[in-house]
Chains A and B, each alone.
Chain A
Amino acid sequence: MGEIFANLGGGFVNAFQPLNFAMILLGLTIGIIAGALPGITMLNSIVLVLPFTYLMGIVPALLLMIGVYCGGVFGGSITGILFNIPGDPMNVPTTWEGYRLSRKGQTQYALGLAIMSSAFGGLVSALFLAFFAPPFAKFALTFSTVEFFAVVVFGLASVSVLGQASMAGALISLFTGVLLGTIGTEAQYGVERFAFGVPFLKTGVDFVTVLIGLFAIGEVLEQLVVKGAEPAPATSGARAIPKLPLLALWPLRWSLARGTAVGIAVGGLAGAGATVSSFVSYGLEKQISKEPHLFGTGHAGGLVASESSVNGSTGGAMIHLLTLGIPGSAATAVMMGAFLIHGIQPGPLLFTKQPEQVYTIFAGMILANVVMIALGFLAALSFAMLMKVPASILNTFIVVFCFLGAFALRNDLADVWLTMLFGVLGFFMRRWDLPIPPLVMGIILGPMAEQYFLTSMVSHANDLTVFVTRPVSAVVLAFSLLMVVWPFVKTFRARRRHAGGG
């Protein structure tokens, strides 16, 4: 332990070198801004900065990318809270609660909670990475696609807590999302599904187009045409300047702790990543909460849990890269590229051969999450100024930004068509009482579930019992089942009580 502290101290000294610290600041700024712009994902921004790292040393290069990574996973929550446009799929659960809080005039509170819980999750995760990376990586390596499937099913099962108004409506949305996720070329056999010869459908429906359309365009149409719709954000604009609610976090400490723990655990599973962890932690939080009926109406616990798990997953995802040389997510795969460009092979030998570099990275992650509080605050402040703009102008430019965000995905107008189509669909889904979040979950988690399920079946000779004979998978699936069944049990018990009382 003493050696870890000494190495970490050395890492901090390195990370505070002017160039290294400047790279953390620059990376965070790029990440937060890019993460907040729909269509430009955190991954895009890491890829975009990669060429600029060729001429740098490995440490500043990695600190720049770590800054982008930490800032990028947080940035998307700003526009989600303010305009109902999640910057990245991982920010969707934050948007569900944050935007509702914002519509209630609690924008300051929502933004402050998002900043603080992101920083907390990221900080704890970075500390976990520094102290427990090697043993955790060893444990996580025992997981296979069977366990990954169970975790994704747990995320999908949270649809039951999202659809308490109408379970059938939530399931329609979920299966529509799962179906949309099957469009395009199937990964295992390379077969085209539901493309019907349309070229852009062969590569599938990019879920960012679905997100932008359903959330942003649907909301704009709602505000435009529904008489007596909720007041536009501009009415609460004067109170949009973020506030850092340090004391307000105390009552939410358990949500924060659970979200961070889920983030580290799920982020540590190679391939699962921040998106799965945010859905899982949101679903878990709602199931545990004493006021689950308030979720979806602006519940601070839901926001804190999902936001802390998103940044909590960053340390988990780095564990595989640094200890085993296996990237745990797409973002860390790009970072691995940076290592290899500089002639360094990440893996167990890195800890013995170049410990100063490894611990500078750990220190950089810790610093990035602390500095993110200030930079996140400044970024949220700038974006919050937009809340003072009249609703007619704001809505118009939201549509224009949706156009640009969708076009930027593949420089293809077909994606813009899809976005607008999903926007209209989102409007009618609201009218028909079909919840939108399950559709989003279906399109994001559905393809993951399919991939893990089919791979497990191939590896285990189509033996379905493998999902219940492996202990971790069995426990996670049992929790998923409980999550689905519990609302029905509660309803049944309430009816019996009601009948008994009446």
Chain B
Amino acid sequence: MLARRLLAPLGGVAVAIALYPVTWGLDAIAREGQLGPGFWPRLALGGLALACVGKMLEDWQRLRRAAPGAPDARPPLARGKLVAGIACIVGYVLLAPVLGFALVSALFIAAFLVLGGMRSVPAIATNVVVGVVALLYLFVRLVYLPLPKGDGPFEAVTLALYRALRLY
């Protein structure tokens, strides 16, 4: 348990150590005797490293005081759902330039609703259709947001959809 709790602050120390040398070259532009553009990042990295060490000590002390074998106070996690949720979100952004906003949003809405526990197909379909059409009207027609249209055949599908909805 201690190793798991130390993971985040250790990561912070590693990031601070890795980035510190990057700041050395930044001050070359500064005049003699003046604080350069590397000063503030160094301050932040130093502070981050110190705070991480402090957190490690704090966690170590807290665990030392806790009764041996005491359960983790944090609520349990549905790991499968977490992976699926992150995959949905990453896939949403990853596929947006390929499929276009309309198609990728339809897929995302359906997938995330299922992940959230919705099982009724008509309800999912209604949310997808009403949601995507409303979003397109609001953000393409009214706000003129140049949302991704997709690549190749998907672009043609998006444009056809825009024409059908009289967005163009």
Contact = CB atoms under 8 A, between A and B. Distances in A.
A189 B36 contact: yes
Contacts, number: 169
Interface string B103-117: 001001100110111
Interface in B12-55: 12, 19, 22-23, 26, 29-30, 33-41, 43-45, 47-48, 50-52, 54-55
Contacts of A458: 34
Contacts of A446: 40, 44
Interface in B74-126: 74-79, 81-82, 85-86, 89-90, 92-93, 96-97, 105, 108-109, 112-113, 115-118
Given A168-B51, A221-B86, A225-B82, A182 B77 contact: no
A88 B76 CA distance: 33
Given A226-B75, A393-B127, A408-B145, A221 B82 contact: yes
- SS of A interface (majority): helix
B146 interface: yes
A351 interface: no
A232 to B, nearest CB: 9
B108 A400 contact: yes
B112 A399 contact: yes
Interface residues of A, number: 59
Given A172-B9, A454-B35, A194 B81 contact: no
Nearest to B50: A171
B37 A176 contact: no
A501 interface: no
B37 A188 contact: yes
- SS of B interface (majority): helix
A407 B37 contact: no
Interface string A452-476: 0110011000100000000000000
A227 B12 CA distance: 28
| Range for the number of chain B residues in contact with chain A | 35 or more
B52 A172 contact: yes
A413 interface: yes
A374 to B, nearest CB: 25
A396 B109 contact: yes
B105 A400 contact: yes
A228 B135 CA distance: 32
B146 A411 contact: yes
Contacts of A395: 112, 116
A392 B40 contact: no
B22 A194 contact: yes
Interface in A424-457: 424, 427-428, 431-432, 434, 446, 450, 453-454, 457
B41 A175 contact: no
A431 B9 CA distance: 13
Contacts of B81: 224-225
Given A172-B52, A191-B29, A224-B115, A462 B35 contact: yes
Interface of A: 166-169, 171-172, 174-176, 178-179, 182, 186, 188-189, 191, 193-194, 217, 220-221, 224-229, 390-393, 395-397, 399-400, 403-404, 407-408, 411, 413, 416-417, 420, 423-424, 427-428, 431-432, 434, 446, 450, 453-454, 457-458, 462
Interface of B: 5, 8-9, 12, 19, 22-23, 26, 29-30, 33-41, 43-45, 47-48, 50-52, 54-55, 57-58, 74-79, 81-82, 85-86, 89-90, 92-93, 96-97, 105, 108-109, 112-113, 115-118, 127, 131, 135, 139, 143, 145-148
Given A174-B51, A175-B48, A396-B109, 11 more contacts: A168-B51, A172-B8, A178-B47, A179-B45, A189-B29, A193-B41, A391-B116, A396-B127, A404-B145, A420-B92, A462-B34
